[in-house]
Structure 1
Amino acid sequence: MFDAKIRPLIDPPLNAVGRGLAKIGLTANMVTLLGLGFGLGAAYAVTVQHYDWALALVVVSRILDGLDGAVARATQKTAFGGYLDIVCDFIFYVSIPLAFGIADPVNLLPAVTLVAAFTITGISFLAFAVTAAEQGAETSAHGEKSFFYSTGLAEGGETIAFFLIMCLFPMHFATLAYVFAGLCVVTVLQRSVLARTSFRD
């Protein structure tokens, strides 16, 4: 929901840093994988209940996630880079709630519920992107992307915000997980309505 609105603010500094990283020889795919590494490090920190470290690693991971696209724009965007980026994003998204479920068995059911919600949200996101590509639809609302990014209530920015709140208040993980799972379901419904009205038969 907020991703498209903050893009004009964050893209200029990201692009400047991205050009610097490209000059020292880093590729976009390297930055993507580095971001995933920090993200999985955050998940591990959650499993051992080092929530302060988890919070810091989530922040670093998502900064790198923003920088991979900036590096690609400074060098060359590739189809594989777009594929790798979205796969790594969803690995990260799933790893954090699973980590909370491992950290405390009480969190297992809300963790699985949130993973299931992420799964259906991801399916709707990718199905929309595939259909949009088939119909020649384009958008730049989320910046320059390898494929169509559809808007919804729960997007990347909201996901990261919830993850950070979970790290700050791990004792409330269950409530936060159920709330965000509900937002994911609403997002799927929103996207389905948008698909119904946007796509030609």
Structure 2
Amino acid sequence: MFDAKLRPVIDPPLNAAARQLVRLGVSANMLTIAGALIGLGAAAAIALQYYTAGLLLVAANRLLDGLDGPVARIKGPSEFGGYLDSLADFLFYVSVPAAFGIANPANALPALFLVSSFTITAVSFLAFAAVAARAGANDGAHGKKAFIYSTGLMEGAETIAFFIAMCLFPLWFPALAWIFTALCVATVLQRIAMARRQFD
């Protein structure tokens, strides 16, 4: 919901950092892979109940995810890079709630529902992107991406806000996870309505 609105704020510093990384010979795929490994490290820390370490690694993962796109645009984006970035994103999004489910048995059921809702949300997102690409429908609100992004109630910024809250207040995970699950379901319904308007 807020991703497109945050772009004018976060893009200038990310682009400046990306130019420095390119001068150092860092590639977008290197950042994506490093971010994915850090994301798995965040999940491991959370599963072991090292929530502060998990929070710091979540932040590092998102920083690298924010940098790989600008680096790719400077060096020239590739189809494989876009694919790899999406795969790394969803690996991160699923592993963090799963880690909370491992950390505390009381978290298991809400974590299961949250991971399931993420899966359905991802399908709605990627299916919309595939059909929109074929139809040539792109509003450009999310900047230059490997594929067409559909605006939704729950996007990257909202997801990270929930992950941060979960790391800061791990005992609140069940309540946060149920709220997050409901918002993911609402996002899927929103995308179905958008798809009906645009594609039918």
Please, what TM-score do these two structures have when normalized by structure 2? 0.98
What does 1:35-184 align with in structure 2 at a 5 Å threshold?
35-184=35-184
Q: Which deviations, in whole Å up to 9, do the C-alpha atoms of 1:77-119 show, x marking residues without a partner?
A: 0111111111100000000011001111111100000000000
Q: Which deviations, in whole Å up to 9, do the C-alpha atoms of 1:122-165 show, x marking residues without a partner?
A: 00000000000110112321111011000000001100110000
Distance in structure 2 (CA, Å) of the matches to 1:92 and 1:198: 30
**Gap runs ≥5 in structure 2:** none
Q: Does the residue aligned with 1:145 lie in a helix, a strand or coil? A: coil
**Residue type at the aligned position of 2:193:** V
**Residue type at the aligned position of 2:20:** G
Distance in structure 1 (CA, Å) of the matches to 2:35 and 2:15: 17
Distance in structure 1 (CA, Å) of the matches to 2:19 and 2:138: 25
**Gap runs ≥5 in structure 1:** none
Distance in structure 2 (CA, Å) of the matches to 1:156 and 1:6: 11
Distance in structure 2 (CA, Å) of the matches to 1:79 and 1:131: 17
Q: Does the residue aligned with 1:194 lie in a helix, a strand or coil? A: helix
Distance in structure 2 (CA, Å) of the matches to 1:133 and 1:60: 31
Kindly tell me the number of residue pairs found equivalent between the two proteins.
200
Runs of 4+ in 1 over 2 A off after TM superposition: none
**Residue type at the aligned position of 2:138:** E
Distance in structure 2 (CA, Å) of the matches to 1:23 and 1:179: 43
Q: Does the residue aligned with 2:95 lie in a helix, a strand or coil? A: helix
The percentage of aligned residue pairs carrying the same residue is 61
**Residue type at the aligned position of 1:70:** P
Q: Does the residue aligned with 1:149 lie in a helix, a strand or coil? A: coil
Q: CA deviation at 1:25?
A: 0.8
Q: Does the residue aligned with 1:77 lie in a helix, a strand or coil? A: coil
Q: CA deviation at 1:73?
A: 1.2
Q: Which deviations, in whole Å up to 9, do the C-alpha atoms of 1:47-93 show, x marking residues without a partner?
A: 11010000011001001000000100111101111111111000000
Q: Does the residue aligned with 2:76 lie in a helix, a strand or coil? A: coil
Q: CA deviation at 1:31?
A: 0.3
Q: Does the residue aligned with 1:61 lie in a helix, a strand or coil? A: helix
